[in-house]
Amino acid sequence: MNKKLLIVGNWKCNPVTQKEAEHLFVSIKKEIKKINEVEVVVCPPSIYSFLFKQGKNKSKDNEIQLGAQNCFWENKGSYTGELSSLMLKDFECKYILIGHSERRDYFKEADNEINKKIKSVLKNRLKPILCVGEKSRDSFDSEGKPINEMSLIISEQVEKGLAGVSQSRISDVVIAYEPVWAIGTGIPCLPDDAMKAALLIKKTLTNLYSRSIAEKVKILYGGSVISQNAVDYIKSASMDGLLIGGASLNASEFVRIINKVVL
């Protein structure tokens, strides 16, 4: 099945000023107009979302799509400090990251909360990007025997994150494999290991739904992605796209990654 590549930039809690955010957005947008082979999404801090809404030209299908880094599972109510997927939709947001490892770790988000967020995003006709990944590269039990943590963690996170999601909506879900030990460390996952994770995700989806449905779900790789290794995850690991952190804050490097994967 031929899927259009999906490249997602996660700005996280950056940059610290509106001026910097606008410069970064304009710099990326200028170059993206020349590229039609991929769908490009940028997830800025929500306070900068207005930059995308004001600058978007709906007549062109290769413009940057707006994504969000998180959302709450209710549409509205007494939830101080939260943003709903319905609010983000009003800002023309298309994708929302759900269950990023930093949300799981720093804010102690549990699988049941992540599941509620995914259902809310789908209900409001947006596309959730479910982030999954193991914490350790090598794990051992009390007797010193190696544990396949990747297999255990990823299967559980996918199953619990998608609990109750119907067959008719699963094709709107994107899954991003981000091994926690590779995020921001400069130690990327080997393409062969990334491919194993992708195959595991597809196997889990097949068990939950069917093989044909599993093939429709896009799987991304994230974790220390740079222009030097980006192609390996698309060509060698057969990923459907990339979730890029630090490199997305450098317009030249972000665009360089995109250009390399479409060649």
pLDDT tens for 63-96 read 899 999 999 999 999 999 999 999 999 999 999 9
pLDDT band at 262 (very low <50, low <70, confident <90, very high): confident
CATH number of the CATH domain containing 73: 3.20.20.70
Q: How many other C-beta atoms can be found within 10 angstroms of the C-beta atom of residue 207? A: 13
Full residue range of the structural domain in which residue 230 is found: 5-262
Q: How many other C-beta atoms can be found within 10 angstroms of the C-beta atom of residue 199? A: 13
State the catalytic residue, choosing from 39, 102, 109, 178: 178
122-135 residue pLDDT tens: 999 999 999 999 98
pLDDT at 146 over 50: no
Cα–Cα distance for residue pair 40/30, rounded to 1 Å: 13
The residue among 51 and 117 whose pLDDT is bigger is 117
Asked if 100 is an active-site residue, the reply is: yes
> What is the number of structural domains in the chain?
1
Asked if 74 is an active-site residue, the reply is: no
What's the rounded mean pLDDT across residues 212-236? 95
User: Residue 75: what pLDDT?
Assistant: 98
State the catalytic residue, choosing from 20, 74, 100, 253: 100
